[in-house]
Every structure is written in structure tokens, then in C-alpha cells.
Amino acid sequence: MHNKANSLPVRSDPSTRPISRHHSTSYIVHRVKESLTTRVSKLICAIFLSLLLCLGIVFFILWISLRPHRPRFHIRGFSLPGLGKPDGYETSHISFKITAHNPNQNVGVYYDSMDASIYHKDKKIGSTTKLAQPFYQDPKNTSLIEGELRGPTMTVNKDRWMEMERERNQGKVVLSLEVVSVIRFKVYTWRSKSHKMHANCYIEVGWDGLLLNGTKDKRCPVYFT
């Protein structure tokens, strides 16, 4: 008997067919182009990221070196003669010395104006609107500023004076000196906008009206508004 199964035609698997030479060459060229494109893209991305990183480091270093730091103020001397005299308020006057230091390495400071006020328990007892003429301060430079309040610049009254006398008899009188200045920063040829700066100096004077050693050369807190 003839076997029908053996007479059926055998179909070949397309996946086992030999790839033509033309198809194989095109495929290889395509793969090579695709590989080159991928490598070039990766190379461009790597270069771009490297440049971005370098620029970031450069800008960070510039920001650190050129970022303005606020000036530093210290109280160097203070005198309130007349303490101990009941009528001393009539002729009272104050003299003081402070230093302004520019801690920046590459940044200068313009002081466009500078005013000063003296307070006793948050009550103003004297002030001046012309503590110093406008001036420019170089980097890493310290300026000595001297002020004096007398006559119309003193606003202490009898009651306030007597209260200060009572504190003196207890050992010390606590006062505060506020310096208000309008400043601008200078970086090479660039100048910043104006900033209003406040420096508050804590002061203690003894029975003789002179600055006590505990507050001499003390750093004054500085803030901007």
C-alpha cells in the first residue's frame, strides 16, 4: 500500500532560508550606520555634559569668590561724661569710635550715607544724620569712624538722665549704638543696587561714663532692610 503521508510536499521554513547576499550587505551597512550614530550621539552628550560640569564649577568658584559679604562693625570707644552730676543732662555729650571692616577679597563697598543714634532702653537719647561723609572702602580694608553728639543732637531729658544715674550707681549703664548706612557693592566695574544696612552695637559704660572692657572691641550685629 502506498503511504500518502510520504507523498505530501514538504514546505521549507522561511527562517531557514539562506539570506541573499544583497540583503545581508544592506543589513550590515544599516547596522554599522546605526552603531555609528549611537556612538556619535553618546560622544556629543558626553562632551556637552562635561562642558556643562566645567561651566558649573567655574560659576560656583566665581560665586564663592565674588559673593559680597556684609561689612563688619566693632565698637572701639565710647564716652558719656557728666554721669554723676544731677544736672549733667543739660550739657551732656557723647563721643564714640567704631570701625567698619570690608572682609571681601574682590568686592569694594561704597558708603553713600551714614547716620547714628544712641538708645537707652529703646528710648533715643541722641542722633546725628551725618556721621561720615560718603566714602569708598577697598577690599580687606578697615576704616575708623568717629562720632560726637552734643547740643541739638542730644535729646536726653531729666527723667531719662536720672534713670541712667540710678543704673550707674548699681555699677553700669547699658546703651546701644545704631549705625544706619546706605551701601553699594562694587565688583570690578559692576556696581550693585543700594542696600540699607543696620549695625547695632551693645555698649556698657561704668561709673566714669567710659566704655567697659567687657564690650570694648565687641562685634556689632549687622542686618539689611
Share of the chain above pLDDT 70, in %: 82
CATH number (domain holding residue 118): 2.60.40
Which whole number is the average pLDDT over 103-113? 95
pLDDT score for 30: 64
Residues 203 and 220 in one domain: yes
Q: Who has greater pLDDT, 48 or 170?
A: 170
Residues 51 and 76 in one domain: no
Q: Which three cell numbers stand for residue 58?
A: 567655574
Q: DSSP letters of 3-27?
A: -SGGGSPPPPPGGGSPPPHHHHHHH
Q: Are 104 and 136 in contact (CB under 8 A)?
A: no
Number of domains composing the chain: 2
- The DSSP bridge partners found for residue 117 are 127, 178
Half-sphere exposure in the Cβ direction for 63 (13 Å, CA): 6
With CA atoms as reference, report the closest residue to 154 among 43, 80, 44.
80
Q: Are 205 and 173 in contact (CB under 8 A)?
A: yes
* Measured distance CA(172)–CA(168) in Å, rounded: 5
Weakest-pLDDT range from 58-67, 74-83, 124-133, 188-197: 58-67
pLDDT score for 199: 98
H/E run at residue 102: strand 93-102
pLDDT at 51 over 80: yes
H/E run at residue 161: helix 158-169
Domain that holds residue 37: 20-66
pLDDT score for 56: 75
* Domain-embedded: residue 212: yes
